[in-house]
């Protein structure tokens, strides 16, 4: 039952020679063989994974110094470049594309000893909060295969949630780590923008600032996420916005107490309609945070706009980026573009340069308002999502609590932390009456990654249910 172990536990077992990298790799390959067909989480396997595991085993036999991820099979989202392993971006246009180099994050994971076991499913170019595409089809929720895994890192979250891999990489430009983490019952962490270099868009490196999409992790625990951050952070000449490594030894600092940490709780940011059951489950955690030594205050938030205005602002950033990046693909090969991505591109083309730049003052206003809140509080808690997982064939619900909403966007309470680039996580806190996971969103101010991870760890250690897997 190796799926029960976290990364640090597996590495410790391998260093003690109680397990070998080959045994660990073979175990998870068998899990994939037995269960992946049910959920469609992994779409490409690394043909050389056993050979790489043997090399990792030889290093242990020789008692060489090894990294924090030595011998760990890791899944990489199919938006992230992997040398010699097919990377499709979820699009038929790239169904045969094999990169000749790794993204920096993959280079660093390999340097730490990780072994890429395969690539995980994503909607084309990560454009929506569910996971489906014309190339591989839908990824389903391991807790109920009639439901969505969420997206766009849905394959990564489902793979971790089903115990097919111990950890997976993802990226998050509108909630794409936190959304599927919430739906699949795993821990999802998006660090401060720039903490981990973004290096896929080398042809347009400066374009990567909008709209704050960055790498992160899907894992079973905040400890594993901290190890991931430690080993992937730091500047790169391939990303002009990458930051110095400021989260040094964060995995060693997680056990500090939370006494005096000031928490603000918002059910809806003053914007969203939230399912009553979800709100109740999330709010029931507040007394537990007080038990951990935090002060907790429910707050009202006002960004000077309604939900429709905020979503129009946020999607304008996203849609214009989609139009710039994929407009030629739509023009030349429209049959390779899904209806939802086509609609996004077409909307994006309607925005001119002046209109696009006029989004900046709105973004600044949101940043300033969030700084006002963080002047009084250390962390902000909220539901990650307004609803539990829904039918995998849908883009989202059309009603919440009987009120009509936009099915594409109005259930995602994640966008604010992409707008600002703040660190944010989704922590699994329980299940709905129908057995679907519910996530709590935890966010801190810029550079407060350690606090987000430390708070997540404290709650997870004391209150989280352990070792539950759907199959």
Q: Which helix (H) or strand (E) holds 366?
A: helix 359-374
- Tell the residue number behind the tokens 């990564």, with chain if given: 156
- pLDDT tens digits for range 30-71: 999 999 999 999 999 999 999 999 999 999 999 888 999 999
* Rounded Cα distance, 134 and 338, in Å: 7
User: What are the strands, taking DSSP E only, across 299-367?
Assistant: none
- The highest-level CATH class for domain 2-308+356-463 is alpha beta
- The C-alpha R_g of the chain, in whole angstroms, comes to 21
Mean pLDDT, rounded, for 441-469: 94
Domain map (residue ranges) of the chain: 2-308+356-463
- Catalytic site includes residue 248: no
Reported as a pLDDT band with limits 50, 70 and 90, residue 397 is very high
- pLDDT tens digits for range 89-116: 999 999 999 999 999 999 999 999 999 9
Which string of DSSP letters, residue by residue, matches 61-123?
HTT----TTTT-EEEEETTS--TTS---TT-GGGTT---SS--HHHHHHHHTT-EEEEEE--S
CA 20 to chain centre: 29
Reported as a pLDDT band with limits 50, 70 and 90, residue 202 is low
User: In terms of Cα–Cα distance, which of 179, 181, 183 is closest to 168?
Assistant: 181
pLDDT at 223 over 60: yes
% the chain with pLDDT above 90: 93
- Catalytic site includes residue 176: yes
pLDDT value, residue 206: 67
With beta carbons less than 8 A apart as the criterion, state whether 186 and 161 touch: yes
Active-site entry in 20, 149, 176, 382: 176
Active-site entry in 20, 77, 251, 338: 77
- Catalytic site includes residue 12: no
pLDDT at 467 over 80: no
Active-site entry in 20, 91, 149, 152: 152
* Rounded Cα distance, 283 and 267, in Å: 8
* Rounded Cα distance, 70 and 19, in Å: 12
């Amino acid at each position: 039952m190796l799926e029960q172990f976290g990364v640090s536990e597996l590495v410790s077992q391998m260093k003690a020679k109680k397990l070998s990298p080959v045994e660990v790799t073979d175990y998870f390959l068998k899990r994939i063989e037995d269960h992946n067909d049910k959920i469609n989480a992994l779409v490409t396997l690394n043909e050389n994974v056993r050979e790489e595991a043997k090399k990792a085993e030889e290093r242990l036999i020789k008692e060489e110094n090894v990294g924090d991820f030595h011998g760990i099979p890791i899944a990489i989202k199919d938006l992230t470049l992997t040398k010699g392993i097919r990377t499709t971006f979820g699009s038929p246009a790239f169904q045969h594309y094999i990169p000749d180099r790794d993204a920096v994050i993959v280079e660093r994971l390999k340097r730490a000893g990780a072994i890429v076991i395969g690539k995980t499913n994503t909607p084309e170019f990560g454009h929506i909060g569910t996971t489906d595409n014309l190339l591989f089809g839908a990824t389903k929720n391991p807790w109920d295969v009639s439901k969505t895994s969420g997206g766009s890192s849905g394959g990564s979250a489902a793979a971790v949630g089903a115990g097919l891999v111990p950890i997976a990489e993802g990226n998050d430009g509108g909630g794409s780590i936190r959304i599927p983490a919430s739906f699949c019952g795993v821990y999802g962490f998006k660090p401060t923008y720039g903490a981990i270099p973004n290096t896929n868009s080398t042809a347009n490196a400066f374009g990567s600032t909008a709209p704050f999409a960055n790498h992160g992790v899907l894992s079973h625990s905040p400890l594993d996420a901290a190890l991931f951050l430690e080993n992937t952070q730091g500047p790169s000449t391939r990303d002009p916005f990458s930051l110095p490594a400021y989260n040094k030894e964060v995995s060693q600092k997680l056990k500090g107490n939370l006494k005096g940490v000031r928490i603000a709780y918002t059910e809806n940011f003053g914007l969203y309609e939230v399912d009553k059951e979800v709100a109740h489950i999330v709010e029931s955690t507040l007394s537990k945070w007080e038990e951990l030594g935090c002060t907790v205050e429910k707050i009202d938030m006002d960004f000077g706009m309604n939900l429709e205005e905020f979503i129009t602002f946020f999607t304008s950033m996203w849609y214009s980026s989609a139009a710039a990046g994929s407009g030629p693909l739509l023009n030349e090969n429209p049959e390779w573009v899904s209806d939802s991505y086509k609609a996004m591109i077409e909307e994006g083309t309607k925005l001119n340069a002046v209109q696009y730049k006029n989004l900046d003052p709105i973004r600044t206003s949101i940043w300033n308002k969030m700084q006002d809140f963080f002047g009084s509080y250390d962390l902000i808690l909220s539901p990650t999502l307004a609803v539990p997982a829904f039918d995998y064939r849908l883009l989202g619900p059309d009603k919440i609590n009987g009120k009509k909403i936009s099915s594409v966007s109005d259930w995602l309470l994640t966008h604010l932390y992409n707008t600002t680039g703040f660190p944010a996580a989704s922590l699994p806190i329980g299940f709905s009456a129908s057995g679907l996971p519910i996530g709590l969103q935890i966010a801190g101010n810029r550079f407060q990654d350690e606090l987000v991870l430390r708070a997540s760890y404290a709650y997870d250690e004391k209150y989280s249910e352990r070792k539950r897997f759907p199959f």
